[in-house]
Structure 1
Amino acid sequence: MNRSGGDQTVEPRWGGAALLRPGVLAFTGSIGITDAHAHHAVQIIAATTAFTVLDEHGARHRGTKVVVPADTAHRIEVGAEEGAMVFLDPESAPGRSAHVRAVRSGWTVTPVLAFTGRRALATVVDELIAHLAPATAGDDVAPRHPVIDDALRLLPDLVAAGPVSGTELAAQVGISASRLTHLFTEQVGIPLRRYVLWSRLQIAITRVQAGDDLTGAAHGAGFADSAHLTRTTREMFGLAPSMLSRHVSWDLDSGG
């Protein structure tokens, strides 16, 4: 996101805490104004004071909680000093739920994100997901199919090595590709191909935190180059790779 000031464009000051797990990116900090943009993730914003989001039709959505549907042009017109943002993959159960709510009921829907500025970000995210997809809240209690455990163990090395073939992964765990696809989405909560993409972002951030530049991080995460990583972060979240800064304290949860 870019913040405009006169003829200058100033990168926002990313700081504080951020969390990334398959299907979810969240962070806390000040919420600044942005240029008009669209991204694939569903965006949920909550703040301690009211802020304003302008949609592509010129309508203003003002409040302390706003949900922006997937692939929808918008810009933050008035920001807030303290808030939280959660980006959800629209192909995940909570992402679909948030998207449908916003489309059917409006962007300033009944509060779905509890933010006071004093709670752990992981707790806020867990409660949000349980609220949006209550049927999946207890899934981790049920035993997971052994082939899914096998797939999750194999995926980190496969992702880092380059393109991941669902057919080849299925063969390695001894199941048909169609069955693996079905089980993975059902038990992990996000399609395999989306899980792979989020995993690449996790690896990239881990490498940046360890000292790599964007080019090294991109190659280490299986992206073609730093431009590919840049396009991915912008398409998914509307964010520049500066979000990967080592000045942000990251919680990288595999969610597996």
Structure 2
Amino acid sequence: MSNRTNGSGHLMLITPERVFYVGLLGRPRQRCSGAFHVYVAIEGAFHHVAEDGRETSGELVVVQPNVRHTITSDYRSVICFMIEPESVPDGAFEALARRLAEQGELFARRIRAAYARFLEQPREGITSAELDGMCLGEPLPQRALDPRVARAIAQIMRFSGEPATAEACATEAGLSASRFLHLFKQETGISFRAFRAWKRARHLLHFANQDLNLAHLAQDIGYPDSTHFSHSIRRFYGLKPRAIFSGSRDLAIYRGRQPAQPDSAWTQEAS
């Protein structure tokens, strides 16, 4: 656990399938995250600008994965609940978005209550299902992935040694590269390359409150160079890497429990 208790109340809980973040929003430009986002205002309201330019305001905002958007807030800090798209079956996000739209006030209260409960009694080892229950009232359904794709995802998320390539994953799966890439997108809904890029940027969150050499971190995570690292992080988060680290100095980071299944796509994520 990387925990710095200085009274800010800023924290982040990371499981392989979820992120529950309470901290500074910053002043991002347009962002395009690979996860489903539920933004909840701690105070005041959000101002959301969608990819098509439409503007909405409210205490709860939902954004689908891989959709460009800009979020500003009346209050400096924000609650954000992120859900990885490959962890739930097709249609789950659409159904959840409808529930959140119909009962936004209820879910905003529930997510704020989850934060208050965790702030009062923080702990390691929470599961994604438990976090879903706290925030949404019940666990989301789990997607059943083809074992060959699940093993490829686990390889992508090891973040040690050489970065996973489609060719290596295809060989491991006993498929041609083209057949593997087709299967991967069919199972996850996203291309191998885009999936790997998002998971690499997501892995940065594990180190956000540490005093690290960012060039070395970029190399360790698998970026070819610092320029690629900076551009990728800004695309996903709307902020430069250094701004993320600067705004996370007082952030307490907790890690959830990994799934127990040996072939789970998430068992290999670094802790």
Q: Quick check: TM above 0.5? A: yes
Q: SS state of the match for residue 215, structure 1?
A: helix
CA separation in 2, counterparts of 1:249 and 1:35?
22
Match for residue 45 of structure 2 among 37, 48, 51: 51
Length-normalised TM-score, structure 1: 0.63
Where does 1:153-232 land on structure 2 (aligned, <5 Å)? 154-156=155-157, 159-177=159-177, 178=179, 182=183, 186=187, 192-201=192-201, 203-206=203-206, 211-232=211-232
Which residue in the other structure is 1:136 paired with? Answer: 142
The one-letter amino acid paired with 1:28 is: V
- Would you say 1:251 and 2:246 are equivalent positions? no
Relative to structure 1, the CA distance from residue 239 to residue 25 in structure 2 (aligned partners, 3 Å threshold; closer, same or farther) is: farther
**How far is the alpha carbon of 1:212 from its aligned partner?**
2.8
- For the 8 Å contact 1:202–1:252, the answer to whether it is kept is no
Deviations 1:105-161 (A, max 9, x none): 699553356312323395674338977984427x59xxx73x45654564455x444
Where does 1:22-171 land on structure 2 (aligned, <5 Å)? 24-29=18-23, 34=27, 37-41=30-34, 42-55=36-49, 57=53, 59-63=55-59, 65-69=60-64, 70-79=66-75, 83-88=78-83, 93=88, 97-98=92-93, 109-111=102-104, 112=107, 114-115=110-111, 116=113, 117-120=115-118, 125-127=131-133, 134-136=140-142, 145=147, 147=148, 150-151=151-152, 154-156=155-157, 159-171=159-171
Which residue in the other structure is 1:5 paired with? Answer: none
Relative to structure 1, the CA distance from residue 198 to residue 38 in structure 2 (aligned partners, 3 Å threshold; closer, same or farther) is: closer
Structure 1's unaligned 5+ residue stretches are 1-13
The one-letter amino acid paired with 1:119 is: R
- Identity over aligned pairs, percent: 18
CA separation in 2, counterparts of 1:155 and 1:237?
20
Structure 2's unaligned 5+ residue stretches are 1-7, 259-265
- For the 8 Å contact 1:47–1:84, the answer to whether it is kept is yes
CA separation in 1, counterparts of 2:204 and 2:197?
11
RMSD over aligned CA atoms reads: 4.5
Which residue in the other structure is 1:9 paired with? Answer: none
Q: After the TM superposition, which of the residue ranges 218-227 and 68-77 deviates more from structure 2?
A: 68-77
Q: SS state of the match for residue 164, structure 1?
A: coil
Q: SS state of the match for residue 118, structure 1?
A: helix
**How far is the alpha carbon of 1:208 from its aligned partner?**
6.3
- Would you say 1:18 and 2:12 are equivalent positions? yes
Relative to structure 1, the CA distance from residue 16 to residue 231 in structure 2 (aligned partners, 3 Å threshold; closer, same or farther) is: same
CA separation in 2, counterparts of 1:151 and 1:35?
32
CA separation in 2, counterparts of 1:90 and 1:153?
15
Deviations 1:17-49 (A, max 9, x none): 1134556443113556x3552324443111344
Greater relative contact order (Cα 8 A, min sep 6): structure 1 or 2? 2
Relative to structure 1, the CA distance from residue 129 to residue 52 in structure 2 (aligned partners, 3 Å threshold; closer, same or farther) is: closer
Relative to structure 1, the CA distance from residue 240 to residue 85 in structure 2 (aligned partners, 3 Å threshold; closer, same or farther) is: farther
Length-normalised TM-score, structure 2: 0.60
